[in-house]
Structure 1
């Protein structure tokens, strides 16, 4: 069977858990060489040992120098860069009055500024190879949830940045985004704490999807593979919603 990402060189942020980990596993199975990014050194090192042709670099995506180092690692280990898969994210829970200014900045820096940082350093290499950027956003970009002001704002802004970069760097680079709905990850259960009845919030989300199930990280990984492969070679500046139909419920 033909591997869709054979010999492609990728940076994957947020790779140590949830959707980012599933994307890393999927890309690896399709032949990619991968720089894995995450804060948890134990989980990252374990994943790098499991996957073929992968290197883990621990750090915080809020640090511009760390993003620069991720790009340098792709060049030094594999000789170039083809794909940037951006998945790192945090929630920053609390309403506007209660949310601390520090948590506001931490959420915006993690969910938005880090996209700018890694893209800034990666784009010159992506341009050489006709590469692409895929941002893992959220339906929170256009569907508001209580006690998620920083998260919703950062995800909406990430789509605006995606569209601008698609305009700026086409035709050499394709830039797209995915907007997952309720996917069964630790982040979903953390998000439930923002609702009045956390114990029933996840079940309500499940029942609110038209398909009556939560998404899985593997569901998102399959879409990510499509979006970074040649199967989507005429798609750029686009947001792909993957939410079981909850946005229409």
Structure 2
């Protein structure tokens, strides 16, 4: 019966439009449900982070640094990692985290794209603190894709953005199960919205989202997974200087000059607040959720306005300010 229905193009389309109509009819109830969920979450008690252990990758700058400070203010013990580079500020981040209230901070240099180094910093963290409560998979790099560039040059994007989260997660799960801990994954709206010029970057983030959505079923309810999908946040990763040193297309203006961006402090606070309230999905800025809705229900419309909007904006990025 079902096979015959779906094999016929007319009935197949009819089923889709009937379900779409039903969705619109119940959409007021869905909006009310979303509103109730938001209101209820504001009354949900915050997890007490005092004395708990949080490991954050990519914590020497940007969002990782600010999340370290947010956890420090809540009294969490921190293990922070980044790749060892001349400009790394990891020691300064550790020092400031202690000043903000963290009772103990361990900083470790590691390359998250290397599986053995991920095993070592997870083991070192648990050996030092005796436990692990939150794993924040934040390390990542950006690149603007172009078919005119040798595609093999983009391999580090997938290695760091995808495997750089999967490796530490694999080694951390046994420890997180003991503490009923949490995994926080810094994904991106690019992984959902398929932003032009973000082909490989978006693919790495889409892989993250798919992996951790699937992993939920294996570790729930013992371990909670929070997937964070972010728009543009005011960090070094959206500056022309950053892209001048990246493997992809170079730009002449900072992305914040042409695209709406969110402040990194506000973003970090929203993420840590949401995680401590038990949220399993966090999108910032929140308006982007509406774009998710359009993308999945009206893909042609999504492609139409994205092509117009991002083409004109990218042209502005290529012009000197």
> Shorter-chain TM-score: what band?
0.7 to 0.9
SS of structure 2 residue aligned to 1:199:
coil
Work out which of the residue numbers 283, 287, 293 in structure 2 matches 1:241. 283
Counterpart of 1:209 in structure 2 is none
Shift in Å at residue 200 of structure 1? 7.1
Counterpart of 1:199 in structure 2 is 253
Work out which of the residue numbers 173, 185, 202 in structure 2 matches 1:135. 185
* 2:103 pairs with 1:57: no
**Comparing both chains, which one has the higher relative contact order based on Cα–Cα distances under 8 Å and sequence gaps of 6 or more?**
1
The 2-side partners of 1:225 and 1:200 are apart by: 27
TM-score by length of structure 1 reads 0.86
The 2-side partners of 1:140 and 1:120 are apart by: 24
Q: Is the 8 A contact 2:145 2:249 kept in 1?
A: no
Shift in Å at residue 93 of structure 1? 2.8
SS of structure 2 residue aligned to 1:14:
coil
Structure 1 alignment gaps of length 5 or more: 207-213
SS of structure 2 residue aligned to 1:81:
coil
Shift in Å at residue 3 of structure 1? 8.2
Q: Is the 8 A contact 1:3 1:31 kept in 2?
A: no
Shift in Å at residue 204 of structure 1? 2.4
Within 5 Å, which residues of 2 pair with 1:1-249? Answer: 4-40=48-84, 42-52=88-98, 53-101=104-152, 103-190=153-240, 198-199=252-253, 201-206=255-260, 214-229=261-276, 231-232=277-278, 235-236=279-280, 239-243=281-285, 245-246=287-288, 248=290
Counterpart of 1:211 in structure 2 is none
Counterpart of 2:36 in structure 1 is none
**RMSD after superposition:** 2.4
The 1-side partners of 2:111 and 2:61 are apart by: 15
The 1-side partners of 2:91 and 2:208 are apart by: 29
> Kindly tell me: are residues 35 and 244 of structure 1, through their superposed partners in 2, closer, same or farther at Cα, counting changes over 3 Å?
same
> Which consecutive segments of 4 or more residues in structure 1 shift more than 3 A?
190-198, 246-249
Shift in Å at residue 240 of structure 1? 1.7
Q: Is the 8 A contact 1:146 1:195 kept in 2?
A: no
Q: Deviations over 1:196-220 (max 9, x none)?
A: 97437433212xxxxxxx2112122
The 2-side partners of 1:46 and 1:159 are apart by: 31
Shift in Å at residue 115 of structure 1? 1.3
Q: Deviations over 1:72-93 (max 9, x none)?
A: 1221211110000111111133
Q: Is the 8 A contact 1:192 1:202 kept in 2?
A: no
| Greater fraction helix | 2
Q: Is the 8 A contact 1:90 1:110 kept in 2?
A: yes
Shift in Å at residue 63 of structure 1? 0.9
Q: Is the 8 A contact 2:271 2:282 kept in 1?
A: no
> Kindly tell me: are residues 149 and 32 of structure 1, through their superposed partners in 2, closer, same or farther at Cα, counting changes over 3 Å?
same
Aligned residues: 235
TM-score by length of structure 2 reads 0.67
Q: Is the 8 A contact 1:134 1:224 kept in 2?
A: no
The 2-side partners of 1:197 and 1:225 are apart by: 32
> Kindly tell me: are residues 25 and 150 of structure 1, through their superposed partners in 2, closer, same or farther at Cα, counting changes over 3 Å?
same
